[in-house]
Amino acid sequence: MAYIIAEGCTKDASCVDVCPVDCIHPRKDEANFEEVPQLYIDPVACIDCGACIPVCPVPTIFTLDDLPEQWKNYIEINAAYYGN
Ligand code: SF4
Ligand code: SF4
């Protein structure tokens, strides 16, 4: 079970700074950062540590179980960024 970034991400990258396995992308130093509408969590690399949730100002990071029904499509949106 991976964590998911859903509606309203502001790309402030607070979550990137606390993720211990660097599985939230793109980082601000990646070439496509300006182009993307939000950041994405790699569902394979995420270790479900939960460190990203309290630092998200929106908040819009959810566990699979807590993801609101209307945002279920973000499971695929996050995975698709990594080609899964
Ligand atoms: S739950 Fe942990 S490993 Fe997964 S994206 Fe958040 S900070 Fe990274
Ligand atoms: S902390 Fe929340 S708003 Fe900021 S980049 Fe991460 S998911 Fe987006």
pTM of the model: 0.97
**Is the model's pLDDT at 11 over the cut of 90?**
yes
**Lining residues, ligand 2, CB within 6 Å:** 5, 9-15, 39, 55-58, 60-61
**Is the model's pLDDT at 69 over the cut of 90?**
yes
Residue 55 class from Cβ within 10 Å (0-12 exposed, 13-18 middle, 19+ buried)?
Answer: middle
Q: Note the pLDDT tens digit of each residue in 52-64.
A: 999 999 999 999 9
Cβ–ligand 1 distance for 48 under 6 Å, the answer yes
CATH class of the structural domain 1-84: alpha beta
Amino acid at 13: A
- Give dist(CA 76, CA 29) in Å, integer: 24
Q: Which ligand is nearest to the CA of 61?
A: 2
Nearest to 57 by CA among 5, 10, 4: 10
Cβ–ligand 1 distance for 46 under 6 Å, the answer yes
Q: Note the pLDDT tens digit of each residue in 27-58.
A: 999 999 999 999 999 999 999 999 999 999 99
**Domain residue limits, the chain:** 1-84
Tell me the β-bridge partners of 40.
25
Residue located via tokens 């566990």: 63
Q: Can you tell me the mean pLDDT for 14-24? A: 98
Q: Looking at residue 84, what is its pLDDT? A: 82
**Is the model's pLDDT at 75 over the cut of 90?**
yes
